[in-house]
């Protein structure tokens, strides 16, 4: 009788342990007759090294970069949403490149645990020091209406028993850029370069890849002290576009102390296209010494189609 009692007790303990073990693999609301399956899925960003232009204010760099310099994106963010309701199921997870300097191979990997279902994954890669605000996949912005060099992935996936648990993400350029290269020397009293566009926007809708509004943007790029007196310095301003390609007027101003305009140029109907760099190169500054703004027209603008190439770089 004792042995039979012990056997029943041991059997009850084993069953209880099994139930606890099974329950530990579940999460979320449970239904006794239809338990929710769950597993861990990993997202790895394959092209986290990209052509990155130094626009001074974005990276804090004190040098101008080569037009085709490859650099690791400073920040990667991944968030997950319910594909049907749009509800956020995984809050944005941000990885910064500086956190992974000792083991950079871990940098672009994100792992999350999810119940079976259909989801939308949003991934952003960008540079700069301004904080990114993801109100929803339809409304992504940065502090101070800033637009960094931005790369985007946004797509749906189904998680079930047959789903791949390692998902590769390839980021695509989400911005257009206008780059002004001053062939003449940066004046000693210059503090900033200001870009004012009449089109484009600062808020990104990741589901479409386009700007949510297109009222234009004003951006000011601070000049590092060691760029004073240098020639061929590049200034790059980024925009989200309301469609694949647009035309925008630009006013580009060299600013001195207190915002005083040292010189400015007007560019009409500048062609902008997502994943394209539109370039102007020439003498920007006047050497006459006149304090009044000098208005100049110049139309030597072209696209750099090489920027449109998708880059895949594995260290």
CATH class of 176-308: mainly beta
Is there a common fold for 38-173 and 176-308?
A: yes
Highest-confidence segment of 48-62, 94-108, 206-220: 206-220
Listed ranges 58-62, 96-100, 166-170; the one with the highest mean pLDDT: 166-170
Rounded alpha-carbon distances, angstroms, from residue 9 to 5, 6, 19:
6, 5, 15
Contact between 139 and 205 under an 8 Å Cβ cutoff? The reply is yes
The tens digit of pLDDT for each residue in 53-92 reads 444 433 333 233 444 455 677 888 999 999 999 999 999 9
pLDDT for residue 134 = 96
Q: Examine the pLDDT at 289 and tell me if it is beyond 80.
A: no
Tell me the pTM. Answer: 0.74
Structure tokens at 201: 């926007």
CATH number, domain 38-173:
2.60.40.1120
Domain boundaries, the chain: 38-173, 176-308
Q: Specify the pLDDT at position 278.
A: 86
Judge whether residue 5 has pLDDT over 80.
no
171-200: pLDDT as tens digits: 888 999 888 889 899 999 999 999 999 999
Query: Which whole number is the average pLDDT over 160-177?
Result: 85
Residue 262: predicted pLDDT: 92
Burial class (CB in 10 A: 0-12, 13-18, 19+), 80: buried
| Mean pLDDT rounded to a whole number for the chain | 75
Return the closest-CA partner of residue 229 out of 261, 295, 182, 194. 182
Beta carbons of 152 and 79 less than 8 angstroms apart:
no
Output the pLDDT for position 186. 93
Q: Check whether 42 has a pLDDT greater than 60.
A: yes
The predicted pLDDT at position 105 comes to 59
**Which residue from 250, 116, 238 is spatially nearest to 177, judged by alpha carbons?**
238
Of 296 and 87, which is predicted with more confidence? 87
Please compute the mean of the pLDDT values over residues 125-134 and round it to a whole number: 91
- Please give the Cα distance from 291 to 293 (Å, whole number): 7
């Amino acid at each position: 009788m004792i042995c039979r009692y012990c056997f029943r007790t041991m059997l009850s303990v084993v069953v209880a342990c099994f139930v606890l073990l099974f329950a530990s693999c579940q999460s979320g609301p449970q239904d006794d007759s239809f338990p929710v399956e769950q597993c861990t899925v990993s997202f790895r960003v394959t092209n986290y090294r990209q052509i990155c232009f130094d626009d001074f204010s974005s990276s804090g760099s004190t040098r101008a970069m080569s037009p085709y310099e490859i650099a690791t994106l400073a920040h990667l963010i991944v968030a997950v949403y319910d594909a049907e309701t749009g509800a956020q199921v995984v809050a944005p997870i941000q990885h910064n490149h500086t956190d992974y300097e000792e083991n950079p191979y871990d940098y672009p990997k994100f792992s999350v645990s999810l119940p079976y279902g259909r989801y939308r994954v949003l991934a952003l890669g960008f540079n700069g020091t301004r904080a990114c605000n993801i109100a929803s996949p339809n409304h992504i912005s940065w502090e101070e209406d800033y637009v960094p060099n931005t790369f985007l992935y946004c797509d749906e996936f189904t998680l079930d028993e047959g789903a791949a648990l390692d998902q590769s993400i390839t980021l695509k350029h989400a911005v257009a850029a206008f780059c002004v290269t001053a062939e003449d020397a940066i004046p000693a009293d210059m503090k900033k370069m200001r870009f004012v566009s009449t089109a484009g926007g600062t808020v990104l809708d990741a589901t479409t890849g386009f700007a949510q509004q297109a009222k234009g943007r004003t951006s000011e790029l601070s000049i590092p002290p060691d760029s004073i007196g240098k020639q061929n310095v590049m200034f790059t301003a980024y925009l989200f576009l309301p469609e694949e390609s647009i035309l925008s007027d630009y006013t580009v101003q060299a600013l001195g102390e207190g915002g005083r305009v040292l010189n400015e140029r007007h560019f009409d109907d500048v062609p902008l296209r997502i994943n394209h760099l539109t370039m102007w190169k020439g003498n920007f500054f006047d050497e006459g010494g006149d304090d009044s703004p000098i208005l100049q027209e110049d139309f030597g603008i072209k696209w750099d189609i090489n920027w449109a190439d998708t880059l895949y770089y594995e260290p």
